[in-house]
Structure 1
Amino acid sequence: MILITGGTGLVGGHLLLRLAGGTTALRALYHNEKNISKTKKLFAHYGKTAEFETIQWVNGDITDVPSLEEAFNGVSHVYHCAANMSFDPRDEAMLRKVNIEGTANMVNCALDFGVQKFCHVSSIAALGDPLIAGSVITEETEWNPEIYHSDYQISKYGAEMEVWRGWQEGLKVVIVNPGLIFGYGYWGQGSSAVLKSVKKGQSFYTTGSVGVVAVEDVTGIMLRLMESEQNAERYTLVAENIDFKSLLDTVAKGMNKRGPVIYASKLMLAFAWRADWLLSKLMMRKRLLTKHMAQTAFTTEPFDSSKIISTLNYRFTDMKPYLEKLSAEYIKQ
């Protein structure tokens, strides 16, 4: 029996798409029943409605240990994809609760129920901090606690620490650290914010860059790692390091729209995040732009995926044509 958390999200949903209808029984944890419809739509899009019906959905919450007991009964392998993402400082407690405590609960249950292997979906946000600006970031780059990190980064790093604790206690584990993940469906979350902004007419760009990857690569690599003898390893999953201007232009091309034409300077963003802070206070809404987000909009450190390429002899998807095609699909929605 395989257990997947986050099955109503991009990575978990596409992982279910790959595994459903196979020879191994499949169980997916859900917290809100209405969100299952998102995954059902994904299966329908790929003509796999029959396979969707083979999934055993179990109601549970990774922050509530008693609710996990039914989910873990008879499970041999776990793919932990569930996590929350936010860059609003007011969500610090929620991020720590779900990402760190929730992962600790999953690890503890995996140990208690004798799970054979555990795959944890982390993020490049949990990788280390280069000592020299512009240096390549790998799995070996050390985390510097003296440097400011967002609450999201800290929560993902803390989640990894829980997974490593599980390994020290005898659990076989692999960790993947994907970049910004793009894929079909789940348009209201994650990387779809990029697609949405371009559709609405994104005019501004910065000189920073970001590591991007296709969800098909992420899920395919996860499956191969779980089937392999690899243990106690983490892998950076970035198909391409792309500057924000090129990313937005590529998405715009797929939508037959104009790309951004106005350069947003550091001074401009410094004013913008302060204005957003004031508006969030006055209007009692979530932050749209924080100081950390403004700063990372200019970071250019590339991520190196050589380790996974060498380990699995893997070839990543060419992202530009992939993004153009995905953007064309998005605009149809």
Structure 2
Amino acid sequence: MPILVTGGTGFVGNNVVRALLERGDQVRVLVRSTAPQPCFEDLDVEFVEGDICDSDSVTTACEGVDAVIHVAAMVQIGWSQLERQRAVNVGGTINVARTALANEIRMVYVSSVDALGIGSEEQPANEESPRTGKIQCSYVVSKSESEQELQKVISDGLDAVIVNPGFMLGPYDWKPSSGRMLLGVTKKQPLIAPSGGMTLCHIKDVTAGILAALEKGRAGRNYILGGTTMPYFDAWRLFAEVAGTKPPKRRMGPVIMKIAGFVGDCVSKLRCRELDINSAAIQMGAQFHYYDSSRAIEELGYVITDSRTTVDDAWNWFQTQPAVARS
């Protein structure tokens, strides 16, 4: 029987689909449109048209599957989309979870480190760290709430595992998603980088971790799928080195942070559309999103690829997809 993947058009979901096919699984994908898409070209998958926010289409998609890997989410760092993100990230997740429970199938929920507590330069956070300190933007709130609600369904008997990836780069980032940072830094060549830091991970490692969680993750348990912890300043300089462009010269100070966030919010209001540069994104960039993957390494056999290879692989893929790189 097939494995259902939600969010198969996205960066993580598309890599999961490909990894499942490579190991010989049948794959069913829940998509909002069955029109041909480049991300599924030459892939032998079954499509079910629907939306995770529609319980009937989720029920149809889950009929006769062995398991579901729930990746679909609305990702946007800002203040303005809380209700939409709750509808998708919380409501959609619970639709999938309750359907999986009713059908007695195993579920892997691909959440985010943004649902966990915040780390520091000295002490990366783990799955048991207090879930405090994050900027309470709409994405963080919705992902945190989705895990809280999912745990309630798990307590009702759902066999589900939660994985929390860090900042991912790699191939098949069609939209693009997190690869936009790499492309933005190499195109715009900013002189100043955010003052915080990230946990940079290769999408192939995260994908392998998701499949390992499906096979041997413990129900109700979180697994951080991280990588190399590094300041944004160092990451952006690495991006520039790989691409052969000018690197940033310094970290963003508190005064520039406040000005950039204020201007971004004001322009967003004038345009009636929240820009990527807003006060939530600026504040998130000042935090150290450092995470410890020890649990996944010990229990799932998780492997971490070095940061240079991770960036190289992402950059090289974008060079083969000029239309994606220009978007």
Query: Common fold, TM-score beyond 0.5?
Result: yes
Letter in 2 for 1:289: I
Partner of residue 121, structure 1: 110
Alignment map for 1:44-193 (pairs within 5 Å): 49=42, 52-53=43-44, 55-115=45-105, 117-129=106-118, 134-144=122-132, 148-193=135-180
Aligned counterparts of 1:226 and 1:125: Cα–Cα separation in 2: 21
**CA-CA distance at 1:133 after TM superposition:** 8.2
* 1:3 aligned counterpart, secondary structure: strand
The ranges of structure 1 where at least 4 consecutive aligned residues each deviate by more than 3 angstroms after the TM superposition are 21-24, 132-135
Kept in 1: contact 2:233–2:250 (CA 8 A): no
Aligned counterparts of 1:264 and 1:147: Cα–Cα separation in 2: 19
Percent identity of paired positions between Structure 1 and Structure 2: 27
Aligned counterparts of 1:314 and 1:301: Cα–Cα separation in 2: 19
Kept in 2: contact 1:253–1:324 (CA 8 A): no
Letter in 2 for 1:38: P
Aligned counterparts of 1:248 and 1:330: Cα–Cα separation in 2: 17
Structure 1 residues 22 and 288: CA distance shift in structure 2, 3 A: closer
One of 258, 261, 265 as aligned partner of 2:253: 265
Structure-1-length-normalised TM-score: 0.89
Structure 1 residues 177 and 229: CA distance shift in structure 2, 3 A: closer
Structure 1 residues 99 and 270: CA distance shift in structure 2, 3 A: same
Aligned counterparts of 2:145 and 2:233: Cα–Cα separation in 1: 32
Aligned counterparts of 1:323 and 1:101: Cα–Cα separation in 2: 34
**CA-CA distance at 1:187 after TM superposition:** 4.1
Aligned counterparts of 2:178 and 2:309: Cα–Cα separation in 1: 16
Structure-2-length-normalised TM-score: 0.91
Aligned counterparts of 1:150 and 1:215: Cα–Cα separation in 2: 25
Partner of residue 38, structure 1: 38
Kept in 1: contact 2:189–2:245 (CA 8 A): no
**CA-CA distance at 1:291 after TM superposition:** 2.1
Partner of residue 9, structure 1: 10
Structure 1 residues 151 and 233: CA distance shift in structure 2, 3 A: same
* 1:90 aligned counterpart, secondary structure: coil
Aligned counterparts of 2:290 and 2:260: Cα–Cα separation in 1: 26
Structure 1 residues 2 and 13: CA distance shift in structure 2, 3 A: same
Q: Does 1:314 align with 2:322?
A: no
Kept in 1: contact 2:117–2:134 (CA 8 A): no
Structure 1 residues 263 and 230: CA distance shift in structure 2, 3 A: closer
* 1:20 aligned counterpart, secondary structure: helix
Higher relative contact order (CA 8 A, sep 6+): 2
Structure 1 residues 119 and 301: CA distance shift in structure 2, 3 A: closer
- What are structure 1's unaligned runs of at least 5 residues? 42-48
* 1:181 aligned counterpart, secondary structure: strand
Partner of residue 44, structure 1: none
Letter in 2 for 1:16: V
Kept in 2: contact 1:135–1:301 (CA 8 A): no
Aligned counterparts of 1:147 and 1:9: Cα–Cα separation in 2: 25
Aligned counterparts of 1:277 and 1:240: Cα–Cα separation in 2: 31
**CA-CA distance at 1:313 after TM superposition:** 3.6
Mean CA deviation greater in 70-79 or 275-284 = 275-284
Aligned counterparts of 1:313 and 1:153: Cα–Cα separation in 2: 28
Aligned counterparts of 2:161 and 2:59: Cα–Cα separation in 1: 23
Letter in 1 for 2:161: V
RMSD: 2.0
**CA-CA distance at 1:9 after TM superposition:** 0.7
Structure 1 residues 199 and 331: CA distance shift in structure 2, 3 A: farther
Aligned counterparts of 2:141 and 2:239: Cα–Cα separation in 1: 30
Letter in 2 for 1:59: E
- What are structure 2's unaligned runs of at least 5 residues? 323-327
Mean CA deviation greater in 184-193 or 105-114 = 184-193
Q: Does 1:304 align with 2:276?
A: no
Partner of residue 30, structure 2: 29
Partner of residue 196, structure 2: 208
One of 221, 230, 234 as aligned partner of 2:218: 230
